[in-house]
Amino acid sequence: MRHIDILEIADSAKFNGFHGSLLLWCAIIIICDGYDLAVVGAALPSIMKDMGVTAQNAGFMVSSALFGMMFGAIFLGTLADRIGRRWAIVICVALFSVFTAAAGFTDDPYVFSVLRFLAGLGIGGVMPNVVAQMTEYSPRKIRATMVTLMFSGYAAGGMLAAVLGKGLIEQYGWQSVFLAAGVPVLLIPFILKSMPESMPFLVKQGRLDELKATLARLDPSYRAQAGDNFALPAVDRASGAPVGKLFQEGRAFSTAMFWVAFFMCLFMVYALSSWLAKLMAGAGYSLGSALTFVLVLNFGAVIGAVGGGWLADKFHIKYVLVSMYALAAVSISLLGYPVSTPVLFLLVGLAGASTIGTQIVTYAYAGQFYPSAVRSTGIGWASGVGRSGAILAPIVIGTLVGMALPLQHNFLAIALPAVIATIAVSLIRHERSATAANDIAVQRLADAA
């Protein structure tokens, strides 16, 4: 009887077509996810005019999706560890595609808000699941790069909504960009056919033939034998409430620190996306439309995500993250001071890299920290708690803007969460992570040999 460590096979596998296919599908899903979230921002002026709603009601209409994302991240992330990630991802795609498209058929702001809440369940729920999927199947040497490269599709979806939305709205009305968001539902049969299931889930379900076929695609050198016994770490074999496992085996304090980091980072992301253009215009800068800021911020996010992922694979991901959060504190603070236009663009790009980009690297770290059996749950709860920061940010910064404070004070308020996140990540106990536990297990096997 052979004892097969399935997670070690995934760790040591060389990048091949299987990894490329998984990366492509997860990236496409995230691009669609990013588009669905950003599409309201692109269409909001037209929606307000068409429905005759006030700015206050419009804010509620926008935030309804954020509330949905908070619940979706928590519950659909946890559900995935019970029903399998593939079906959880499909449910999320169906939710955000169908209900975003349905929002294009209503002219009632309250119905619109309900539909956006339901779409938000899928928008928020898909994130922890695709991160967990990429983390599990990526070769260890390029794991952070794979996750951040995939997740940079989120910023690409935001840029797609900004660019494509402008043309569609001018020609066909705001409803057109919502109807376009329904197209991804057509991808569901292909996702079911191409997306592999989580390997620990297959072991626990006794679906060993499917597991062997997946392992052969993951590592072509693997040859299935009748007596193969598939080993799982103890935490992946254990039963019980997945949420409880986030606080076991010395992970409780680090779980709290991840929640703090997610909250602070999403606060910064949504504070900037909501108020950057308004603050800069109030400071007298003439830089064109808000679309320019969106593009620069998201372009910086792509650079920060991919660059941060590459650095995290070369160096210690925890300390890469600490550095990125520190960069956010500095770059956002400097936005409050008079600078030349080229320097301002550079600072906005750095802010995007060190907020949106850093958020993506934080997802990657959470994926590596938690064991496979509770990975979706761990990422989902961190993301869900973080969404409360996203909900609060526009309100808090909006209140400060209404107080007519000096520009520097507003940006210092946005930068302060970066300082707190820097401290939180530095306090994460990496020695309690699944990555560290795997290192110890591999070393013991090497010593025994």
Residue 117 pLDDT level (bands cut at 50, 70, 90): very high
The sign of the dihedral angle between the CA atoms of 130, 121, 192, 179 is: negative
Token pair belonging to 3? 């004892």
Mean pLDDT of 72-96: 86
Q: How far is CA 99 from CA 164, 235, 278, in A?
A: 20, 37, 30
Please tell me the predicted confidence (pLDDT) of residue 441.
Answer: 53
Cα–Cα dist 425/261, whole Å: 7
Percent of the chain's residues with pLDDT above 90: 20
Please tell me the predicted confidence (pLDDT) of residue 442.
Answer: 47
SS (H, E, C) 300-311: HHHHHHHHHHHH
Q: Which residue has the higher pLDDT, 338 or 287?
A: 338
Mean pLDDT of 34-48: 77
What's the CA angle centered on 366, arms 361 and 412, to 5 degrees?
A: 55
Mean pLDDT of 424-449: 67
List the chain domain ranges: 3-440
CATH of 3-440, one of 1.10.10.10, 1.10.10.60, 1.10.3720.10, 1.20.1250.20: 1.20.1250.20
* Range in 283-297, 365-379, 433-447 with the lowest mean pLDDT: 433-447
Beta strand ranges found along 14-157 (DSSP E): none
The answer, yes or no, to whether residue 99 has pLDDT greater than 80, is yes
Q: Which residue has the higher pLDDT, 95 or 152?
A: 95
Mean pLDDT of 373-397: 81
Predicted model pTM: 0.75
Q: What is the mean pLDDT of the chain?
A: 82
The answer, yes or no, to whether residue 234 has pLDDT greater than 60, is no
Residue 374 pLDDT level (bands cut at 50, 70, 90): confident
- The H-or-E segment that residue 425 falls in is helix 407-426
